[in-house]
């Protein structure tokens, strides 16, 4: 079965420290992978996506993600966290050739001042 | 501004009542989607539509209905058959169903049963 997993319900990090939000996937074929951020009471905002090519993908607000095929991972990273980065983050995968976007259960990031 | 507009933001439903959530997009996207979000469960697909006058059931379609009479509009009706409708509902769209297309979301609508 196709799936996307976010193993951590919550991640706490101090402001200014690097952050990592983990995502692993089980998607057949060539996976298309996405990261979204959700602030309270709002829709999901697109951050970045991996389709093909360079394994390091750069996105909005200084975020980047590293695609690792051997570990089937697509972890979201930022070199220096801001308090304003505190939000709910979703990883998603798209089964190649279909409409079906598969979302993880979300990871709540809390950046402490 | 281009985007996806959902209305209303908050809606209250009485037992046995049908309610309709509106979703309009001016992005000229072909594909539109409805997701339900419950705490700790991520997003679950209710219905999607790839083209006008065509739509497909997602993973949790029971108790819901949709229509796609215009490219820009994809309203969702929550019927009385949906026994636990209290949730946050998200409408989304993408250019088409070609691989790798980004899906974009509206601001969501809260539905509460009273």
**SS (HEC) of B17-73:** CCEEEEEEECCCCCEEEEEEECCCCCEEEEEEEEECCEEEECCCCCCEEECCCECCE
Q: Among A8-12, A27-31, B91-95, where is mean pLDDT lowest?
A: A27-31
Q: Are strands B109-113 and B10-13 parallel, antiparallel or unpaired?
A: parallel
Instruction: State residue B99's pLDDT score.
Output: 62
Query: Residue A107 pLDDT > 80, yes or no?
Result: yes
Question: Which residues in chain B have Cβ-Cβ distances shorter than 8 Å to A103?
Answer: 35, 42-43
| Predicted pLDDT of residue A34 | 96
Please state, in angstroms and rounded to a whole number, the distance separating the CA atoms of residues B18 and A66.
45
Could you read off the pLDDT of A33-45 as tens digits, one per residue? Answer: 999 999 998 999 9
Q: What does the block give as tokens for B114?
A: 């009273």
Contact yes or no for B99 and A96 at CB 8 A: yes
Contacts with B87 (C-beta within 8 Å, 6 or more apart), sequence order: B36, B37, B38, B110, B111
Average pLDDT, chain A: 93
User: B21 and chain A: CB distance < 8 Å anywhere?
Assistant: no
Please give the pLDDT value at position B98: 65
| Chain A contacts in chain B segment 54-83 (CB below 8 A) | 56
Please check whether residue A61 is in contact with residue A45, taking contact to mean a CB–CB distance below 8 angstroms: no
Is residue A39 within 8 angstroms of chain B, CB to CB?
no
Q: Which residues in A lie closer than 8 A to residue B56 (C-beta atoms)?
A: 99
Q: Under an 8 A CB cutoff, do A46 and B102 touch?
A: yes
Look at residue A98 in the predicted model and tell me its pLDDT: 77
B102 touches chain A (CB under 8 A): yes
Does the CB of B100 have a partner CB in chain A at under 8 Å?
Answer: yes
Q: Summarize the confidence of residues B34-53 as an average pLDDT.
A: 92
The pLDDT value recorded for residue B3 is 94
Q: What is the pLDDT of residue A18?
A: 98
- A66-89: per-residue pLDDT in tens? 999 999 999 999 999 999 999 999
At residue A24 the predicted structure's pLDDT band, cuts being 50, 70 and 90, is very high
Tokens of A109: 């990031």
Contacts of A92 in chain B (CB under 8 A): 103
For residue B42, give the nearest of A43, A90, A100 by CB distance. A90
B86-114 average pLDDT score = 89
- Under a CB-based contact definition with an 8 Å cutoff, are residues B30 and B71 in contact? yes
């Amino acid at each position: 079965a196709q799936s996307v997993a976010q193993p951590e319900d919550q991640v706490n990090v101090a402001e200014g420290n690097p952050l990592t939000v983990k995502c692993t996937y089980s998607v057949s074929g060539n996976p298309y992978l996405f990261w979204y951020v959700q602030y309270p009471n709002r829709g999901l905002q697109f951050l970045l996506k991996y389709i093909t090519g360079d394994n390091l993908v750069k996105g909005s607000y200084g975020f980047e993600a590293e695609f690792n095929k051997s570990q089937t991972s697509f972890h979201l990273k930022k070199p220096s966290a801001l308090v304003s980065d505190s939000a709910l983050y979703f990883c998603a995968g798209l089964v190649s050739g279909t409409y079906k976007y598969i979302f993880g259960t979300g990871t709540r990031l809390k950046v402490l001042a | 501004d281009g985007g996806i507009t959902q209305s209303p933001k908050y809606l209250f439903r009485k037992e046995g009542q049908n309610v309709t959530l509106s979703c309009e997009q001016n992005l000229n996207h072909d594909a539109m989607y409805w997701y339900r979000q419950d705490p700790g469960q991520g997003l679950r697909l209710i219905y999607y539509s790839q083209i006008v006058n065509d739509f497909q059931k997602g993973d949790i379609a029971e108790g819901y209905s949709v229509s796609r009479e215009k490219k820009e509009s994809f309203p969702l009706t929550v019927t009385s058959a949906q026994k636990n409708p209290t949730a946050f509902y998200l409408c989304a769209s993408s250019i088409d169903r070609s691989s790798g297309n980004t899906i974009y979301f509206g601001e969501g609508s809260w539905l509460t049963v009273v």
